[in-house]
Structure 1
Amino acid sequence: MEVANTENAEENSEIDEDVRATEKVINAFFYYKTYGKEKILKMVDQMRKIPPAHQLIIGPRYKEHIRNITQMMDHNHTVIRMIVNFGVTMFGEESLKAMRIHQARRPTADYMSKVLSTIRQICREWTEEGRPEREATFLPIIEELDKLFPREHCQRHLIRIMVPGCGLGRLACDLINEGYTVQGNEFSLFMLMTSNFMLNACKIENQFTIYPFIFEKSNTWSYEDQERAVTFPDKCPDQDVRRNSFSMCAGDFLEVTRNSTFDVIVTAWFIDTAHNILQYIETIYNTLEPNGIWVNVGPLTYHFEDSPDENSIELPYTEVIRFIREKGFEVITERRVESKYTVNRQSMLQNEFTCAFFTARKI
């Protein structure tokens, strides 16, 4: 054991930042089971601290619930390991090296939160449970593009669409099924590993099962709601040979677009991920072909607003849309769309966003 640790330490001193970043993501994914055990042990300890008379009343069903979620946690962990292991085989030497140097440890709270949100993102994008959320914001995009590029009047496979911040790839896949040529772009390694699994490992509808809500203890109606399963994918990514193509591009949107142009850019729940939203708008303008179309939907929940070490410019919608026009866009559609985001449909708490939906043409 001492020799192995020495070898890992020597290798660690020579690895590059990309490998380190990948290893941190792998470590967070693999820590899920330990995280779950800690949550369950706390539940057991809390039960022991209440009066015996109260234990007698709620104890039997409580203990059954703990047994159930322990099994479900184990199952979730198995699915997570499948996602990571499949990703490592697909992503090449960088991921393989990250696996070799991996040493289990507690991830940051932020990284653990990203693991849990990735599970919820599976539910949002690739299950029947998430269909209402997709219909609220993905469907208006598809309908808007239908008006601009009717099938009977254009060759859709020649229309190149970019979807930055594409998450687990569902919107990009839906656009592929509409006949367009699509490139998805994503920066998060959590999303990239999981989208890779969704797009390349899922061959049968509802092939896999997860339990996304087992650690949600507040605002629940019943143990059954917490324990309910969801299956994925509700629809298999289309592997048929077709005239249009689909590709994924990993990296920072501001960097990967430097030598590319597209006919359409679709931003769904994306523009508020910017440190400086004006840079995103300028990049979208520069990446579009003349007369190119930008379709946007989403709120302005600026991701770096409360990050002490990150720069963040937070503008209201009126200033954002003013800059869009001043940059050289003609705003041709503008309205508000109500939508939820990764909510538990059976929860007492149902947060809803009023999203900005607009279509703009580069002029």
Structure 2
Amino acid sequence: MATVQNTQDAALPQPSPLFDDAGPLADPQERRVIFAALDSFHQYRINSHFNTTHRRRQNFYALPSAQWRMLAAPPFSIRDTLSAVDDAIDHNADLAEQIFQLGLSAFALPENPPKDSEMNWKGKAKPNDMAKAHSTIRQFYRDWSYEGFTREVEPLLNMIISDLAAHLSTTRTENQSPSLLLPGAGLGRVLFELALRGFHATGNEISYHQLFASNFILNSTERADQYSIYPFAHTFTNVESRANQLRCFTIPDIHPGQAFSARVAAGSAVGEMNMTAGDFVLSYSTPESRETFDGLVSLFFIDTAPNLIRYIETVRNCLKVDGVWINIGPLLWHFDNRVPGGNTDEDEDEDGDDGEPAEAGTKTQPKPDLEDKGIGEPGSVELTDEEVVQLVSHLGFEVLSHEILPADSGYVQDPNSLLQNRYRCSHWVARKL
């Protein structure tokens, strides 16, 4: 289990401590996953141009001549639209390329490796890996743009902070900040916000796409609003207008290092922020992790479990007695298509068979990169919300509160789309007995 600690000065780690051991690249299976993630960011530009605009141009010119000429002229100007989408793709690809370059440096990998080298990362990305890269770039809208964060993340963050204030006080040690674990930390925004407020926060993430991207946004940006992204440019269905499709957002809306420095300068306490890479169950069900954390926050996470019992047992292992577990999220069980004794369809494109991202607003669960143990063990079960809460109580927790939130939680949702996907999230707080 590798760890990276975010510093307050946004200095680029050389190399990143997250990947400082020989383990990841020494294992052939994990090396393939790492290389596939890197290659998918590297191929983002050419893959997006081909699947998003090139194929549409081919289909457009396949129309009867009189018809495509009519649509090429104002007010439709379809050819101009496709050119504008190409420009938007290039902006997204600039960000993907930066993530790729940081990933190469983190592992000290050459940009042009010998073809016969075992360190050759080129050509390793499959359609599913490309889909993950698309989803990761789009997710920056949710986590690190002002518009996405305030609409989709901040309301949930405020609930979490309120829960911590109400229920974590009994676990506080005098003059010591509470320690929190956030499994499925994704792009690290909630992790950052909690550390900024004085908690010692540790994130855990299994997806190398998310790890590379979070490492970049937390440790390698120079200023707020440095990058422009077009999260909805790839979407051609349920579009209100071309102006809406081609909206630009800037990230990060807040610079992590500068935010920490400003808070320290103001005399406010800040916490430590760490990220661990690996399977949640394998990483935190160990004796070394026993009774480590005062609290655990699972946000849009527990439905990634094929067997929720393993997750609950792991939470119980790593929480201190009286530790608090805060959960917010839907139950879009990721493994509901698992065949008995088999793996998921990892090699298939989770966002469609054409390499294009899914409809904006749809929560795409990151598929596991490694399936030797942990979430890769055979077997799965899908529980109702009522059964989940009962199971948490049955396995050594006291459920302090439970509610179903209104259906207003979007997930990378275009607020102007003609199709609106909303989640009625289950929100509960439990204490370890």
Q: Same fold (TM over 0.5)?
A: yes
Equivalent in the alignment of 1:147: 166
Assess, with a 3 A threshold, how the Cα gap between structure 1 residues 83 and 255 changes in structure 2: closer, same or farther: same
Q: May I ask how many residue pairs the two structures share in their alignment?
A: 348
Question: Does the 8 Å CA contact 1:269/1:297 hold for their aligned counterparts?
Answer: yes
1:61-104 alpha-carbon deviations (Å, 9 max, x no partner): 11111111112212221210111111232355699989950223
Question: Does the 8 Å CA contact 2:196/2:260 hold for their aligned counterparts?
Answer: no
Q: TM-score, normalised by structure 1?
A: 0.89
Equivalent in the alignment of 2:313: 282
- 2:54 is equivalent to residue 41 of structure 1: yes
- Aligned match for 2:104, one of 85, 88, 107: 88
Equivalent in the alignment of 2:78: 62
**Secondary structure at the residue paired with 1:158?**
coil
Q: What pairs up with 1:124-135 in 2 under 5 angstroms?
A: 124-130=142-148, 131-135=150-154
Deviation at 1:204, TM superposition (A): 1.3
Worse overlay, 201-210 or 189-198 = 201-210
Question: Does the 8 Å CA contact 1:23/1:99 hold for their aligned counterparts?
Answer: no
Q: Which amino acid aligns with 1:158?
A: S
Equivalent in the alignment of 2:324: 293
The CA RMSD measured in Å over matched residues stands at 2.4
Quote the Cα distance in structure 2 between the aligned partners of 1:342 and 1:156. 39
- 2:191 is equivalent to residue 175 of structure 1: no
Quote the Cα distance in structure 2 between the aligned partners of 1:15 and 1:327. 35
Please, which runs of 5 or more residues in structure 1 have no aligned partner?
1-13
Q: What pairs up with 1:1-363 in 2 under 5 angstroms?
A: 16-39=28-51, 40-60=53-73, 61-91=77-107, 100-104=119-123, 107-130=125-148, 131-149=150-168, 157-237=176-256, 238-240=259-261, 244-257=271-284, 258=286, 259-260=288-289, 261-308=292-339, 309-310=342-343, 311-337=379-405, 338=407, 339-363=409-433
**Secondary structure at the residue paired with 2:417?**
coil
Deviation at 1:30, TM superposition (A): 1.8
Question: Does the 8 Å CA contact 2:297/2:326 hold for their aligned counterparts?
Answer: yes
Assess, with a 3 A threshold, how the Cα gap between structure 1 residues 287 and 108 changes in structure 2: closer, same or farther: same
Worse overlay, 233-242 or 260-269 = 233-242
Quote the Cα distance in structure 2 between the aligned partners of 1:90 and 1:155. 38
Q: Which amino acid aligns with 2:384?
A: P
Deviation at 1:211, TM superposition (A): 1.3
Quote the Cα distance in structure 1 between the aligned partners of 2:271 and 2:46. 44
Question: Does the 8 Å CA contact 1:22/1:95 hold for their aligned counterparts?
Answer: no
**Secondary structure at the residue paired with 1:353?**
coil
Assess, with a 3 A threshold, how the Cα gap between structure 1 residues 47 and 157 changes in structure 2: closer, same or farther: farther
Question: Does the 8 Å CA contact 1:207/1:231 hold for their aligned counterparts?
Answer: yes
Deviation at 1:247, TM superposition (A): 0.7
Assess, with a 3 A threshold, how the Cα gap between structure 1 residues 93 and 157 changes in structure 2: closer, same or farther: farther
Q: Which amino acid aligns with 2:233?
A: I
**Secondary structure at the residue paired with 1:354?**
coil
1:158-207 alpha-carbon deviations (Å, 9 max, x no partner): 20000010000000111112211111110100000000001001231111
**Secondary structure at the residue paired with 1:209?**
strand
1:229-270 alpha-carbon deviations (Å, 9 max, x no partner): 111001121343655211111111112112221000000000
Assess, with a 3 A threshold, how the Cα gap between structure 1 residues 96 and 189 changes in structure 2: closer, same or farther: farther
Quote the Cα distance in structure 2 between the aligned partners of 1:74 and 1:99. 30
Quote the Cα distance in structure 2 between the aligned partners of 1:96 and 1:159. 45
**Secondary structure at the residue paired with 1:43?**
helix
Equivalent in the alignment of 2:12: none
**Secondary structure at the residue paired with 1:248?**
strand
Identity of aligned residues (%): 31
1:82-134 alpha-carbon deviations (Å, 9 max, x no partner): 111112323556999899502236x4332222111101211110002212111
Question: Does the 8 Å CA contact 2:316/2:432 hold for their aligned counterparts?
Answer: yes
1:31-73 alpha-carbon deviations (Å, 9 max, x no partner): 2222222221211111112223322322131111111111221
Deviation at 1:359, TM superposition (A): 0.4
Question: Does the 8 Å CA contact 1:156/1:180 hold for their aligned counterparts?
Answer: no
Quote the Cα distance in structure 1 between the aligned partners of 2:112 and 2:65. 52
Quote the Cα distance in structure 2 between the aligned partners of 1:140 and 1:120. 24
Greater RCO, CA 8 A, separation 6+: 2
Please, which runs of 5 or more residues in structure 2 have no aligned partner?
1-25, 344-378
Quote the Cα distance in structure 2 between the aligned partners of 1:36 and 1:66. 12
Assess, with a 3 A threshold, how the Cα gap between structure 1 residues 202 and 103 changes in structure 2: closer, same or farther: closer
Quote the Cα distance in structure 1 between the aligned partners of 2:161 and 2:97. 34
Deviation at 1:155, TM superposition (A): 5.4
Deviation at 1:307, TM superposition (A): 3.8
Question: Does the 8 Å CA contact 1:186/1:251 hold for their aligned counterparts?
Answer: yes
Quote the Cα distance in structure 2 between the aligned partners of 1:52 and 1:191. 45
Question: Does the 8 Å CA contact 1:305/1:314 hold for their aligned counterparts?
Answer: yes
